[in-house]
Amino acid sequence: MTPNSPKSSAVEATKNSETNSAASRLRNLLVVLAAIALAASMFFGLRTQTPSSSLTEMAKASAPIETALTNGKPTLMEFYANWCGSCQAMAKDLSEIKQKYAEPLNFVMLNVDNDKWLPEITKYRVDGIPHFVYLNNKGSAVAQTIGEAPRSIMEANLEALIAGKELPHAQSVGQVSNFTPATGPTKTSSSDPRAHGSQVQ
């Protein structure tokens, strides 16, 4: 068989096709494996460091409101929710601020999704979150701010609160997540068969 014969060309074409096909399959397999590894690392990385879990952890570590109102220390009270993007955006800075000012201040976090805090939500007129209430050492509100705030503004307010001075940024308003508080029990229609006390007709 001569090198340029039709049979040798067909054999070479078949070999090249098989080589290209094998290389292509290997490349595709490597791409799929890399994609799976990347997706798994992102999934596990996000699960272990989600802002909502850090908000929950921060809330668990915060002072009980009853203690904060009676222990003679000024207090920063935050109304938040795990779904609140602005709350999540501030979580890292607030965590560091709480560590820095842990001794002279109380930090209280109240989740607006918990009906238990409805009296406080109503008292402080919370309609956007994060909503911060600055309480003096007697437990009285001296200022409120709403929305995202830079760390420098939060720290300036806290320094003034600790010193018993007027807060320099007492009326600051940043980006908020809207929140409409519940005002009472939800009413059900009397025609709804699941309503308590309804008659089946």
SS3 112: coil
Residue 18 — φ and ψ, nearest 5°? -65, -40
Displacement of CA 157 from its chain's centroid (Å): 23
Given the residues 63, 76, 81, 84, the one annotated as active site: 84
- Spatial strand order in the sheet of 141-146: 106-111, 75-80, 131-135, 141-146
Q: Is 177 exposed, middle or buried (0-12, 13-18, 19+ CB in 10 A)?
A: buried
Please indicate whether residue 182 is annotated as part of the active site.
no
Given the residues 65, 77, 81, 87, the one annotated as active site: 87
Q: Is 39 exposed, middle or buried (0-12, 13-18, 19+ CB in 10 A)?
A: exposed
Please indicate whether residue 84 is annotated as part of the active site.
yes
Q: Catalytic positions, please? A: 84, 87
